[in-house]
Structure 1
Amino acid sequence: MIRGIRGATTVSEDREVDVVEATEELLRELIRENQLLADQVASIFISVTDDLSSAFPAKAIREIDGWTYVPVMCMREIPVIQSLPKCIRIMVHYNTTIPQNQIHHIYLREAKALRPDLSK
């Protein structure tokens, strides 16, 4: 079975270093909390809000040992009025038998406001 594992974070500035660092931090937390193995990941979708254009967040995933060959796609988030600015969202499609209620979705920085029910 494939489970979706969600996560989101924000950056304060649209700079390549900030986007890449925030994405890496988020993915590493998803890996740690869910004990993810790269060879069990079917794919990862990453979306960014319209105000982020300095870097492809997928670059961060390529920097993590063992994650080079995971298929990753970056895209734009729907520009909803009053949505959270400078936001990076991740959806990991993971092959697992873990029940859905035991998946740990991760929301960091200002993105905790998106899902306060799932934020620590």
Structure 2
Amino acid sequence: MSVRGIRGAITVETNERQQILDASVQLMNAIVEVNGIAPEDIACVYITVTQDIDAAFPAKSIRELEGWEYVPLMCSVEIPVKGSLEKCIRFMVLVNTDLKQADMRHVYLGGAEALRPDLSRAR
């Protein structure tokens, strides 16, 4: 068994608490679904947000999902790069699996599809 990384990202329209929480759950559910994983398969999740998102911690909504109370989650702020995508939440999900890295399915939703159109189309 190996630890593999799964990337994901989603954008929100506004810096509002409920939008941030809902988008975080939507992204996590999509990653879990397309990869056929369960919370107990996940070693940890790193979550970053762009500097224009500060109304809520994305991890809060995930911690409240059934079965997620023991999954380590950490939020931080993305480095500010001029011209980068705004209002974006990014995940790096580290999963214990027997699959190869090439078999991991990354998920980009909303405006975040522009980050990796090659992987967004693969879904």
TM-score interval (norm. to shorter): over 0.9
Per the alignment, residue 36 of structure 2 pairs with 35
Following superposition, which runs of at least 4 residues in structure 1 exceed 3 angstroms of deviation?
A: none
Paired residue type of 1:50: Q
- C-alpha distance in structure 1 between counterparts of 2:79 and 2:110, whole Å: 20
- C-alpha distance in structure 2 between counterparts of 1:14 and 1:111, whole Å: 16
Q: Say whether 1:57 aligns with 2:68.
A: no
TM-score (norm: length of structure 2) = 0.95
Extract unaligned runs of 5+ from structure 2: none
Q: How many residues align?
A: 120
Deviation for aligned residue 1:46: 0.2
Deviation for aligned residue 1:40: 1.5
Deviation for aligned residue 1:36: 1.2
Per the alignment, residue 26 of structure 2 pairs with 25
Deviation for aligned residue 1:106: 0.0
Matched-pair identity in %: 47
Give the root-mean-square deviation of aligned CA atoms.
Answer: 0.6
Paired residue type of 2:57: F
Extract unaligned runs of 5+ from structure 1: none
Deviation for aligned residue 1:70: 0.2
Per the alignment, residue 117 of structure 1 pairs with 118
Deviation for aligned residue 1:100: 1.1
Paired residue type of 2:76: M
Deviation for aligned residue 1:14: 0.2
